[in-house]
Amino acid sequence: MHRHPGATEAPRGGGLDAGTGPWAAIDSSAAFWTLVTRASEIYWTRRAGIAAVNAARRRRFDTLVNYARIHSPFYRDNYRSLPTSGLAPADLPVVTKSTLMANFDAWVTDPRVRLDDVVRFLGDNEHVGELYLDRYLVWKSSGSTGTPGIYVQDVEAVATYDALVTAQVDNRGWDAQAVWRMLSEGGRAALIAATGDHFASIASWRRACRAHPWRSARSFSVLEPVPRLVAELNAYQPAFVASYATLLYLLAEEQVAKRLRINPVALWSGGERLTPAMRSAIENAFACPVANEYGASEALSIAYGCREGSLHVNADWVLLEAVDRDYAPVRAGEASHTVLLTNLANRAQPLLRYDLGDSIVVQPEPCRCGNPLPAIQFQGRCDDVIGLRAADGRVVHLPPMALTTIVEEAGQVHRFQIVQDGPDRLQLRLEHGPQRDAAWTAVSRALRAYLAEAMLPNVDVVLSPDAPIVDPGSGKLREVIVLF
């Protein structure tokens, strides 16, 4: 989100309701004032122009590098041969999730934070509603690289993410009339996500809720078959809907077909690539704007969408480097192989030139919307929407996030590929190894149950003899592909 919210588990105590969970502790602490201070600082820095934004980023970069060298044994060792000052980002070695996770206890800057202890904390329901060590929000994710990640954010970092969202509200074009309509529509908000398990989206949702004036909010599971989801949304009549791009797109189709009949004032898309075509299809179907956010488990707010369809990088708090396979910079206008993320907001677990795995394009020209922050297009994680033929000939579309969540949760596997290789056939590619048979048994049962509920009991689900196959062009593993 996640960049992709896919396969991110809930933080301990992370709930949807305002005023509960660790967020409540944050709200009532001094971090609230950090939020106020940060929001006004972000506002004034950006108003002063891109030179001020770049200066703020350089200053924070120097501070974080020094902090990491002093407090993180991992970085101290990793930077041992580097000069003690005047470092540019390109001077630092790249880090990966697998390296950081393998050195977790040395990576974190607070020696009280220990991997085995965090894992125990995450697994223990007695700690619901608490901050870890009274000052950290923790969550975990699997992601498509196969190494589970455990993320520790200090309360100041979370306040910064909140402040970044607050700073974006201006940009979303929601005027007083829209707010009035929101309230007159009943002020109901709906989140459709892998509820309870996908923290990045839940957290973004929680922040979006805080920034806007609705009266009630409800979450729906992305695992529900689309017809049932449509019926529930018709009954609930939300004024605001937040979900993954592909799911909003499916709902737009339902709205055009008049099976879905809702009248939202605004929509929010996160976690997946929102293409210009998807965006206009969704906005036309619902006659309202879609706000788009690019975030990840590693940094909840990396960039946000503007009316021109670009994403603007929060360049005062995030450094994003578009690079090729060898981590050399790629030119503006070219798709990167991956992107290196430096998150300047979080000191608990410093991320400096971290290989995030997404592909982006940096726009060569300034964005037409006038926002001076660097404009990018997000290329990565563009899973195909699967359309399967039902027994009566109708084509039923399924959101990729629902399918990947089922495979991850039922099979406990993190590297796999779902391939549609015929109008009514799905193939699953699983890694070869001792777990393969057990995973297949569990996944095939769960997928068949989901398909039966989606009125697709006729669809064949078969195990491919192949292991997952990485895209030869991008070097990435796409989890859901259509090949026929």
Q: Which helix (H) or strand (E) holds 300?
A: strand 299-305
Q: What DSSP designation does 239 have?
A: S
* Residue 367 vs 386, nearer CB to Zn ion: 367
* Residue 346 vs 371, nearer CB to Zn ion: 371
Q: What DSSP designation does 288 have?
A: S
Residue keyed to tokens 């077909």: 257
* Residue 54 vs 147, nearer CB to Zn ion: 54
Q: What is the contact mask toward Zn ion in residues 298 to 327, using x (rule: CB under 5 A)?
A: --------x-x-x-----------------
How far is 207 from 85, CA to CA, in rounded Å? 37
- Amino acid 221 reads S
Which residues lie across from 312 on neighbouring strands? 304, 375
The nearest distance, CB 292 to Zn ion, in angstroms, is: 11
* Residue 281 vs 369, nearer CB to Zn ion: 369
The nearest distance, CB 298 to Zn ion, in angstroms, is: 24
The nearest distance, CB 372 to Zn ion, in angstroms, is: 10
Residue keyed to tokens 């502790």: 25
The nearest distance, CB 366 to Zn ion, in angstroms, is: 9
Kind of pairing between the strands at 416-422 and 425-430: antiparallel
* Residue 171 vs 474, nearer CB to Zn ion: 171
User: Closest Cα partner for 301 from 291, 309, 289, 286?
Assistant: 291
3-state SS string over 343-365? Answer: ECCCCCCCEEEEECCCCEEECCC
Q: If you write DSSP's letter for every residue of 397-439 in order, what string do you get?
A: EE-HHHHHHHHHHHH--SSEEEEEEETTEEEEEE--STTHHHH
How many residues of this chain bind Zn ion (CB under 5 A)?
6
How far is 5 from 298, CA to CA, in rounded Å? 11
* Residue 367 vs 442, nearer CB to Zn ion: 367
Of 349-357, 359-367, 399-407, 445-453, the segment contacting Zn ion by CB under 5 A is: 359-367
The answer to whether 75 and 100 have CB atoms below 8 angstroms apart is: no
The nearest distance, CB 374 to Zn ion, in angstroms, is: 10
* Residue 292 vs 297, nearer CB to Zn ion: 292
Query: Judged by CB under 5 A, which of 113, 182, 313, 367 binds Zn ion?
Result: 367
Query: Judged by CB under 5 A, which of 103, 297, 371, 404 binds Zn ion?
Result: 371
The nearest distance, CB 360 to Zn ion, in angstroms, is: 15
Residue 292 found at the interface with Zn ion (CB under 5 A): no
Of 123-131, 286-294, 345-353, 364-372, the segment contacting Zn ion by CB under 5 A is: 364-372
How far is 437 from 411, CA to CA, in rounded Å? 10
The nearest distance, CB 173 to Zn ion, in angstroms, is: 12
* Residue 113 vs 306, nearer CB to Zn ion: 306
Residue 250 found at the interface with Zn ion (CB under 5 A): no
Q: Which of residues 69-108 bind Zn ion (CB under 5 A)?
A: none
Q: How many CB atoms lie within 10 A of CB 332?
A: 14
Residue 50 found at the interface with Zn ion (CB under 5 A): no
Q: Which helix (H) or strand (E) holds 51?
A: helix 50-71
Residue 363 found at the interface with Zn ion (CB under 5 A): no
User: Closest Cα partner for 247 from 366, 385, 340?
Assistant: 385
How far is 210 from 233, CA to CA, in rounded Å? 22
Query: Judged by CB under 5 A, which of 211, 281, 369, 463 binds Zn ion?
Result: 369
In the complex, which residues of this chain contact Zn ion (CB under 5 A)? Answer: 306, 308, 310, 367, 369, 371
